[in-house]
Amino acid sequence: MGGPLADLVFQSYGRCCKDEQFFVDFYTHFMGSSPAIKERFANTDMPAQRHLLRNGIMQLVLFARGMSDRKLRALGESHNRHGYNIPAEWYVLWLDSLMKTVAKHDPEYDRSLEKAWRDVLQPGIDMISDAY
């Protein structure tokens, strides 16, 4: 997948993550998408979690650009049924929440950029959710 689409997404993410509010808004959208998801973060240190997610999204983009899958395999382990126990359906809500947040924060957002984001991130997301 590395290549022009992954580059567009890498640049879009650069515009988004300049502003810490991007991650605040992501968790507002994500936790708003289901009470069960909100519940999972009830005892989480959110400033720390926002920082970890900043890195996690970067790992998804770097994987699409051809980087090693080692970090994503570790996320697959931590999120699987023995860890945070995150079922596959929730990754759909995760990606929809991310797209809502990108739409709000990237001034260059349009339908084709949204499709690029979805296509570029999906293989990395599958790598995590397939480890369930």
Residue with tokens 């697959």: 76
Size of the site for ligand HEM (CB under 6 A): 20
* Complex with ligand HEM: residue 8 or 93, whichever CB lies closer: 93
Could you say which of 56, 58, 96, 118 contacts ligand HEM (CB under 6 A)? 56
The residue among 3, 22, 4 whose CA lies nearest residue 13 is 22
Contact between 79 and ligand HEM by CB under 6 A: the answer reads: yes
Q: Is 52 in the site for ligand HEM (CB under 6 A)?
A: yes
Residue 93 · residue 25 · CB < 8 Å: no
18 class by beta-carbon count within 10 Å (0-12 exposed, 13-18 middle, 19+ buried): exposed
Binding site for ligand HEM (CB under 6 A): 37, 40-41, 44, 49, 52-53, 55-56, 60, 75, 78-79, 84, 86, 90-91, 94, 125, 128
